[in-house]
């Protein structure tokens, strides 16, 4: 009855952005948006209402809905808004539950989603034929067509038409990417012409608020901490109007091979209390993270792929449970609610049941039917140019390899198992391009089974996102020519699978369930692959961690026989002996020995700084990004950043949120070809303080010098090879945003071509 009443009130509502009153106005009265991000694509449709009810019980009044273009247009010009992709139904459920909606339709979203939400087929003529997130017609025209199609689905669900959608976003954090206001205007104008008549907002981090923004949009600021500082920056570009945090992070997402991310609850409460106390609004990113099912998890540069679990240490867990953060936030929201809101605050819905048990069913080894893609290629093509978006591709060499030798593919995207006459020889891996696989002499067929992780979802590296066995592929130093390729289609429910002669390893388990409660598949000890249940893709497993379980929604199970299909890329013996299901997720176990290849130690080439640094200086102890510029740009392939002292007056700790090289135009140089030559130390036991965090484009995770088992001594340094000669006009350093220890104080910067080898 309460939901029906609230929905009726919504039908009569008006919403506006008042610059004079510095507020959002709902029916003419100031309205604070207390929003939580929930991605319907990361939640089974059967659970949408439950997750929205959880957000309402936490004290929120709005849900934020990201849309992913590639989720709705898998093939060019073919749109799907049905079933699990029915965004209109998600919005209707929100309205029925008395919740408002902020819509973020794309075309670009990021969200640690494959290719940032962009369709793979943008690359089907080669990555050099399209420049994403620009006015390039190869990108902009299909992006506009998508926006118009989204409007057909949702324009009648805007508050201006009696629906729950209060505002819509034009792009996402464009300041991280570029500064083309005309591009943003093209997106904005298309949204207006398509029928979006609610306020349109744009979000950026605090130090990119002026990039690519136009006067017509409402500006909101994204930040992980320090709301006072961020709102001060927002006031510099929007002197009047409501204060809003477009993304406030209760923690952070996880990446393969790095520790699980957490954030102290008290930090979150302090920041959100401040936002609400000054009359501001917020969107909690994430209120409920969910799961990047199937192929949808993203990847940062330089090749830092994210886990399928998107738990995010959010207040509502991956499985939909209330966490301690949930209850703490509920109490904080009560403090800022009106008497009427408090009276109407519901209790959380009943949790979805969980189950745990051991299945001893043996797995049947099967191989899928392969689909021929290309024959007689001189050189192997990227998968997109062969019409493939997702799934594995089997490349076969049809030439003479009788002499054998070391097989190398330095441009592989991303990993491949190498077979010779169906015998597994080893793996090629993008992370270690200098490595190869020894191929024996003889007469036989060379197969390379290619599986890719995700395309980049963030930054300028997105323009270098094509996948596949990219040339050159060499054997004993000689480039191999003459290739065929076949697609290993993702196995769907009901697809015929047969045993064949191909060197592929799938396993099928028939598991009997007596309950359709949720569960988690234990994958500890497994190496690498994908899992489907009854045709539904669960996602990737990779034994290195941090996640050692895979969420199995009970709504995808049935009482009786259930089919689990496993694409076993890593040669796992252990999963022949049955499957284990647990009722508690394992989100933070690292097992590097379960990698498909043995990882080398962090490069630690000897680094002896030249006598005279290229630059030296001292940074302030602040949250702000700080820049250092050369009087005259230099050209170099390598650079070293050395930290002599850190705030607060500490020589034993050092940290960096983000480090960027700037060219003469002040633009950040792409990171995707960078590799570390030497790292003084990094903390990877007690926290995710890996060196890659300093160059991944994200300011919310950090590189931190070693501190758990004995502190590393100053000077601390990172030495990086950029892969080619680069014009260096300066650099930008962003300090850590959580806490202050280790922030750079006195520093030295070196540019050269032989700093370390």
**What amino acid positions are annotated as catalytic residues?**
173, 247
Residues 90, 45, 202, 176, Cα dihedral to 10°: 180
Q: How far is CA 204 from CA 295, 341, 714, in A?
A: 27, 31, 35
The helix/strand/coil state of 728 is strand
Cross-strand bridge partners of residue 395 = 448, 485
Q: Tokens at residue 569, please?
A: 């890329």
d(C-alpha 251, C-alpha 269), whole Å = 12
Give strand pairing partners of 394. Answer: 449, 486
CB atoms within 10 A of CB 420: 21
Are 248 and 275 in contact by the 8 Å Cβ rule? The answer is yes
Q: In 10 A of CB 337, how many CB atoms? A: 18
Which among 601, 620, 613, 630 has a CA at the least distance from the CA of 715?
613
User: Pseudo-torsion of CA 136, 142, 145, 149, nearest 10°?
Assistant: -140
Reference 603, options 711, 710, 675; nearest CA is 675
The CB density around residue 114, as the number of other CB atoms within 10 Å, is 29
How many Å is the Cα radius of gyration of the chain? 26
User: Where do we find the tokens 């697609």?
Assistant: 487
> Dmax over Cα atoms in the chain, in whole Å?
82
What is the DSSP track for 439-497?
Answer: E-SSS--EEEEEE--PPP-SSGGGGG---EEPSP-EETTEE---EEEEEEPPP-TT---
Distance, in Å, from the CA atom of 423 to the CA atom of 438, rounded to the nearest integer, reads 12
503 and 449 Cβ atoms separated by less than 8 Å = yes
Contacts of 145 (CB under 8 A, 6+ apart): 77
Q: Residue 725: helix, strand or coil by DSSP?
A: strand
**Residue count (the chain):** 757
302 HSE (CA, 13 A, CB side): 22
Nearest residue to 107 via CA among 137, 146, 74, 138: 146
Direct distance between the N- and C-terminal alpha carbons of the chain, in angstroms, rounded to an integer: 70
DSSP 434-450: T--EEE-SSS--EEEEE
Distance CA 353, CA 36 (A): 23
Cis check for the bond before 554: say yes or no (omega within 30 of 0): no
Tokens encoding 334: 């009560």
Q: Are 453 and 447 in contact (CB under 8 A)?
A: no
- In whole angstroms, give the CA distance from residue 440 to residue 318: 47
Handedness of CA 676, 409, 419, 369 (dihedral sign): positive
> What is the crossing angle of helices 324-335 and 265-277, to 10°?
20
Q: What is the DSSP string of 7-43?
A: HHHHHT--EEEETTTTEEEETTEEE--EEEEE-GGGS
C-alpha–C-alpha distance, residues 346 and 56, integer Å: 7
């Amino acid at each position: 009855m309460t939901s029906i009443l609230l929905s009726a009130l919504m039908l009569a509502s008006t919403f506006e952005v008042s610059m004079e009153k510095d507020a959002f106005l709902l029916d003419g009265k100031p309205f604070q948006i207390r929003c939580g991000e929930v991605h319907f694509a990361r939640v089974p449709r059967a659970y949408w209402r439950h997750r929205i009810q959880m957000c309402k019980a936490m004290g929120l009044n709005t849900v934020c809905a990201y849309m992913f273009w590639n989720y709705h247009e898998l093939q060019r010009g073919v749109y799907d808004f049905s079933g699990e992709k029915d965004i209109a139904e998600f919005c209707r459920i929100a309205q029925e539950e008395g919740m408002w909606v902020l819509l973020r339709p794309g075309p670009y979203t990021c969200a640690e989603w494959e290719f940032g939400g962009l369709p793979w087929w943008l690359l089907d003529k080669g990555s050099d034929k399209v420049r994403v997130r620009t006015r390039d017609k190869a990108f902009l025209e299909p992006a506009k067509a998508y926006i118009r199609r989204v409007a057909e689905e949702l324009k009648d669900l805007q508050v201006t038409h009696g629906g729950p959608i209060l505002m819509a976003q034009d792009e996402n954090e464009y300041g991280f990417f570029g500064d083309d206001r005309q591009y943003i205007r093209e997106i904005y104008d298309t949204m207006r012409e398509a029928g979006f008549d609610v306020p349109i907002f744009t979000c950026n981090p605090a130090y990119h608020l002026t990039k690519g923004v136009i006067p017509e949009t409402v500006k909101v600021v994204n930040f992980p901490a320090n709301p006072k500082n961020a709102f001060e920056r927002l006031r510099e570009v929007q002197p009047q109007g409501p204060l809003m945090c477009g993304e406030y992070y209760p923690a952070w997402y996880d990446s393969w091979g790095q520790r699980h991310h957490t954030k102290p609850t008290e930090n979150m409460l302090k920041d959100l209390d401040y936002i609400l106390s000054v009359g501001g609004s917020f969107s909690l990113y994430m209120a409920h993270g969910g799961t990047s099912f199937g192929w949808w998890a993203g990847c940062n540069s330089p090749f830092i792929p994210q886990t399928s679990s998107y738990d995010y240490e959010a207040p509502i867990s991956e499985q939909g449970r209330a966490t301690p953060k949930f209850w703490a936030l509920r109490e904080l929201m009560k403090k800022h609610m009106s008497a009427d809101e408090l009276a109407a605050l519901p209790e959380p819905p009943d949790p979805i049941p969980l189950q745990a048990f051991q299945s001893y069913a043996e797995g049947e080894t099967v191989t899928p039917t392969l689909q021929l893609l290309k024959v007689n290629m001189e050189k192997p093509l990227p998968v997109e140019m062969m019409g493939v978006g997702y799934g594995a591709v089997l490349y076969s060499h049809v030439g003479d390899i009788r002499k054998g030798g070391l097989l190398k593919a330095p441009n592989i995207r991303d990993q491949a198992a190498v077979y010779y006459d169906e015998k597994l020889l080893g793996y090629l891996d993008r992370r270690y391009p200098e490595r190869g696989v020894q191929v024996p002499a003889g007469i036989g067929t060379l197969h390379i089974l290619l599986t890719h992780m995700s395309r980049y979802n963030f930054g300028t590296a997105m323009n270098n996102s094509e996948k596949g066995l990219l040339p050159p592929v060499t054997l004993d130093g000689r480039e191999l020519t003459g290739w065929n390729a076949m697609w290993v289609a993702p196995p769907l429910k009901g697809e015929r699978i047969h045993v064949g002669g191909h060197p592929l390893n799938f396993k099928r388990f028939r598991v009997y369930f007596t309950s359709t409660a949720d569960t988690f598949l234990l994958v500890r000890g497994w190496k690498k692959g994908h899992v489907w249940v009854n045709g539904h893709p669960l996602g990737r497993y990779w034994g290195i961690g941090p996640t050692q379980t895979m969420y199995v929604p009970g709504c995808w199970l049935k009482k009786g026989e259930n089919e689990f299909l496993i694409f076993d890329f890593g040669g796992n013996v252990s999963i022949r002996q049955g499957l284990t299901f647990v009722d508690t997720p394992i989100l933070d176990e690292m097992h590097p020995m379960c990698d498909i290849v043995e990882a080398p130690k962090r490069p630690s080439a000897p680094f002896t700084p030249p006598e005279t640094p290229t630059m030296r200086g001292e940074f302030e102890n602040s949250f702000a990004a700080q820049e250092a510029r050369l009087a005259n740009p230099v050209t170099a392939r390598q650079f070293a950043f050395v930290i002599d002292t850190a705030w607060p007056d500490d020589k034993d700790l050092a940290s960096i949120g983000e480090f960027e090289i700037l060219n003469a135009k002040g633009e950040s140089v792409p990171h995707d070809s960078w590799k570390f030559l030497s790292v003084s130390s990094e903390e990877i036991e007690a926290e995710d303080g890996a060196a890659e965090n300093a160059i991944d484009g994200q300011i919310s995770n950090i590189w931190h010098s070693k501190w758990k088992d004995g502190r590393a001594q100053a000077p601390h340094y990172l030495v990086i090879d950029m892969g080619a000669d680069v014009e260096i006009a300066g650099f930008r350093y962003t300090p850590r945003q959580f806490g202050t220890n280790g922030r750079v104080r006195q520093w030295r910067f070196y540019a050269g071509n032989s700093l370390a080898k």
